[in-house]
Amino acid sequence: MDLPRRPRRLRRNAATRALLEETRVRVDDLIYPLFVKEGESAESVPSMPGVKRHSIAGLVDECREAQAAGIRAVALFPVTPPEQKDAQGSEALNTDCLVLRAVRAVKDALPELIVITDVALDPYTSHGHDGVLNSDGTDVDNDATVEILAKMAVKQAEAGVDWVAPSDMMDGRVGDLREALDESGHTEVIILSYAVKFASAFYGPFRDAVGSQSAAGNAYLDKRTYQLNPANPRESMMEAMLDEDEGADILMVKPAGAYLDIINEVAQSTDLPVAAYQVSGEYAQIHAAAEKGWLDLKATRDESILAIKRAGADLILTYFAKEIAREQG
């Protein structure tokens, strides 16, 4: 064949392929989500193989191992005991609540590790929603919730957190958080906004892990009045741009794998860093298929994260973070 261009020349051996690789996932791109619970022993999360709910002491050990492997940031999610939950999520404003004790312990032990905390009420409410309900209990009260979230963010900053991450999807919450943080002297605290968070079916294992699903029993907790419709890309861009205008430092898309088009569009539309969350359901399905022998765990894991990076994410939250870091190290 008389072919002036033979693209396979560029793929003929491993060295050439490595030299010409266009997208690479670095350890510095990864953020490690972790669960923390009361008590002295860890618990496995059945729907998330290899993931645990750590005690505070165990969390510090896990963070130490992650940092040694090269991880620079962790995101903490508390498992609030049922008896500490109420309709208002009052425990979120307790200065000695679980997650704030965990933040102080991690920062005391590992001051250089970036600690990120979730700003939403679902770990603390008896009904499992991300905010307080309106007077007839039919929907989340946006403005009343934002008022609580702003106070919550300040308390997290006072405990030593580096980044706050509002995940609630209330209107106007980024602007109120920025104002509250600045007025309380925490101008250095970064806001990693869950700017584009969809009402996704991929959150199930996470809700089991933190216990927010329990209020709904076997029914899937319906958050469609505040989380985005998966069918609406234009609406998702509006949300992202509003959060940028309100003062977000980083914009995040969640979930990641089913929304690569949204990640790409956000990345093309902003100069801010873009994050994406490879959520619990994505992690669980890769493990489940691998356990069945249907997929290769490592190859599928790496391809899924590479796709998120290729779509335009600068940062990736993934439960695979520590194992990837160890392999790269």
pLDDT band at residue 15, thresholds of 50, 70 and 90?
very high
In the chain, domain spans:
25-328
Predicted confidence at residue 329, as pLDDT, reads: 81
Closest residue by Cα to residue 195 from 218, 169, 171:
169
Predicted confidence at residue 185, as pLDDT, reads: 98
Query: Could you give the CA distance from residue 222 to residue 199 in angstroms, rounded to a whole number?
Result: 8
Predicted confidence at residue 208, as pLDDT, reads: 84
pLDDT-above-70 percentage for the chain: 97
Q: Which pair of tokens denotes residue 208?
A: 């089991």
Distances (CA, A) of 63 to 79, 224, 319: 17, 34, 13
Q: What is the mean pLDDT of residues 20-38?
A: 98
- Please state the pTM of the whole predicted model: 0.96
As a three-state string, the secondary structure of 52-91 is EEECHHHHHHHHHHHHHHCCCEEEEEEECCHHHCECCCHH
pLDDT-above-90 percentage for the chain: 94
Has residue 4 got a pLDDT over 60? yes
Other Cβ atoms within 10 Å of 215 Cβ, number: 17
Has residue 182 got a pLDDT over 80? yes
- Which helix (H) or strand (E) segment is 33 a member of? strand 30-37
Q: What is the mean pLDDT of residues 9-35?
A: 97
pLDDT, tens digit, 9 for 90 and up, residues 144-162: 999 999 999 999 999 999 9
Query: Could you give the CA distance from residue 127 to residue 267 in angstroms, rounded to a whole number?
Result: 35
Query: Could you give the CA distance from residue 84 to residue 187 in angstroms, rounded to a whole number?
Result: 31
**Interstrand relation of 315-317 and 30-37 (parallel, antiparallel or unpaired):** parallel
Predicted confidence at residue 211, as pLDDT, reads: 77
Strand stretches in 97-255, DSSP E = 114-119, 163-166, 190-197, 250-254
Predicted confidence at residue 227, as pLDDT, reads: 97
Query: Catalytic site residues?
Result: 197, 254
Q: Which fold has domain 25-328?
A: TIM Barrel (3.20.20)
pLDDT, tens digit, 9 for 90 and up, residues 198-235: 999 999 899 888 876 555 455 567 999 999 999 999 99
- Name the least confident of 77-81, 202-206, 240-244: 202-206
Intra-chain end-to-end CA distance of the chain, in Å: 45
- Name the least confident of 29-33, 92-96, 221-225, 304-308: 221-225
Q: What is the mean pLDDT of residues 183-209?
A: 95
Bond from prior residue into 255 cis (ω within 30 degrees of 0): yes
